[in-house]
Structure 1
Amino acid sequence: MAAHGQQLLSKIVDTGDVQALTRLGVTRTDYATKGEQQAHDFIVKYAAENGGAAPSLATFVAEFPDDVCAYIPGVTDSFEYLAREIKDAAGKRATAALLGDPNMQRDFDEKTTEEFVISLTRKLEQIRLKTRTKMRTLTDVTSETDKFLAEYRARKAGTSFKIWPSKFRTINDEIGGYFSGNMYAWFGKSGRGKSVIVMEEAIEAAFHGATVLLWILEMSEYEWLARAFSSISARSGMFNARVDGIDYEAGFDNKGMLMGRLAPEIEAQLETFIAALNDVIPGRIILRATDAENFVDRSVTALEADIAETNAEVVVVDPIYLMDFEANTSRVAGGDVAETSKKLRRLAGRRKATLHVVTQADEEDEKESEDGTRELCPPKRKAVKKTKAILEDSTNLLGVDTLNYEGRGVIAIGKGRNGGEGARVEIVYLPNWGIVQETDLAAEAAQFNP
């Protein structure tokens, strides 16, 4: 049997580097034998009582004879290698114990396939997380500049990360588009167009070749597809609409599709349009909607599994507060959402995916003009509902407000880690016809200056 535990403990005694245990996340339960666990406890206790020092070789050997935990001289293997081997062996023991648990057969018999697989997957994920080493690679800023230059060249070549452009020119100008590995948070009051605008950004990414994964948690599949088909057909210039003297390329009537009441000739056009979608969209759009069969696990772990399966590059969670929240280990109000937000942020970085999450803004008094109509007022960053962690974890926070009956709206950048904070995007907002785009101020001005 491999003696990696004894080798690690012996190397600590030789080098005096007790902190290696903390750096690598090695705990007493990772060792294969009771003797190694006792030796681990002794070294940790000795260091705590002696200013962080390791016990001497003489002290260690006197405390632990060979039949308990043998000292192995001259270990040249790295701490990292030894920790990986110890953790790997611990993971295999834990997995074997899990699969050999008598309760496993009971769960298999009593639960549905879906429930059993979800339960087993969560337990295996816990083992994976517990038995991975916590190695940190630190960078000496002055001596490791070659690493920076290598990353710069990779970014220049487009092999290290990607930027997915926004549909809205001002967002591209202000923040440079949406970077892989970042999380972008969208918020607004209920019914103000958040989902429509994030859908537009997801479709835009697909038109630039991205594989897009959507978790739509409060809308049916048919409803989302009807909206999407309006938008995509508008991009293709399926119809023409003249609004306030300006001509727009429009799409299929969303309400007509929802009600199943399109005119016969329009139905024929819709069928032809849908049949050609693969030729229209360079990327892929993969949808999980709230009414999808067997869509019961809505955890961060399940989302990562979907990302891995589809190789998704752009991911939408709409809304975040309908996910299965992570455990509230902080025991504070909103801690479950905060922990979920933190894990989503880490997930985006780990998978190098661009992540868009949607949440609500607190309901506040509306501002009205003198004629009694509501004014456009995108929410401020303090109005993020559920938890401020979403604000803190996001690269950009984008507030949304629309006046559907007036056909206009606004997107406001409420937080910009790389700039853009305070910028506003005025938009034409006619989603029933797939028209959601930045206002062409020059075209509007031309109406009054023929």
Structure 2
Amino acid sequence: MQLTSVEDGVGLALTSLVNDRLALLAGAGLSMAPPSSLPSAATLAQRAKQKYESIHGQAAQIPPGIDDQAEYFFLRHELATVYFRTLIDPHAFAGQPNPGHAAIADLLLVRALQAAVTTNVDTLIETAGQYQFGQVAVGIDGHALAALPPEGAPLLKLHGCRSCDPSNMVWARGQLTAEPVASRIMKSAQWLNVHLLNRDLLIVGFWTDWSYLNEVLAATLNGVNPSKVIVVDLATSADLPQKAPALFALGNRAENGFHHVQASGADFLAELRLGFSKSFVRQVLHSGIQAYSDRKGLPPDPAWTEPLVSDNESMWKVRRDLEGSRPNEPARQARPADEPLVGQTLLELRARGAVIDGPYWNLDGTRIRVLRAARPLHRIEKEFERETPPATAPDLVIAVGAEKQLLPVSIARTSSPSIARGNASRWITRPDAVLEFNL
């Protein structure tokens, strides 16, 4: 195992991502990062023990560890009816998605990740996807995933789901050989052997105190032979073999490198998402180089072909606009469409001195939004009337590919500004923008 810097680790993962090779394994440590801050296994076990003994008295003690507690109630046939229902706080797995969840959801919805596997039973990845107007494709075994629609990459919830099947979450070793978990593990192992075959694996959040993970992972990942493994964890490289031997063995089976990045998984995933967005915008800019050169008679300054980077949320909005997403639709594309006019327009704005301003471009104090939209301009304006009003609206929207049409006044009129929407942005076509800003 090779200790790798954050910058180099993100670079390795991004290379795998843009070449359609990256799959993700995410564990409980991911959801413990702020602002999610879900409780650790030790905390849950301590709370369950205190609650049980407060109800039944000191004479009715239960084991201190979460593995042993779950096994104790499983053997009494009370795992779902007593332990999950009464002793585990039903709100313990609720929280605000952190940047790691947002990154996973985004990269699954555009199919940049080929697949993701999590042992978390919370729904924070799915919630993050809904904030991005998308529905992450989820299943608790391989057969459930096979029945999902093909759009978007799948998320396998290896230990079950707090929302869809709370009675059969995998918390006890005895469940591994009992139904319905035994069949689920078999179906999941078959699915993993196919979907992780020769993939590059990014592993985050697994080296935690949830030690019972090891047996589940060993049962499902034993036949997987990855090409490359990147482990992201704050622990030292010396501690990893003891904390998760099944995953350490998986890394040692990798033919093209086993890397350890000593960092927060949530922070690493946020950097990976930002790198992906930057690559997407760079491809759009490069697609416009020839068109810019043909029109101007000389190539653009190389600095203009390198994207100016904003925060992750803003870059996600930029990607949606450049791929032509309609209001309240998720980003869907891992690669931009080959439409040089969009890239040419961005290069021309850069040539005039435009700089990134959140999800917009700022040219001499005018906030400009560039939107790929090959439709009649009045139709585009009508569609975007139902868009959730942004906190800061652009002054101008350039609809690249749109055309103006002569329409009767009753159809062409625009909606009046309202308190909810504020002042409406002005919509123009690319030819109008060329004249107005001398592009």
Shared fold (TM-score greater than 0.5)?
Answer: no
Q: Greater relative contact order (Cα 8 A, min sep 6): structure 1 or 2?
A: 1
Task: Place the TM-score, normalised by the shorter chain, in its bin.
Answer: under 0.3
Give the structure-1-normalised TM-score: 0.27
Structure showing greater radius of gyration is 1
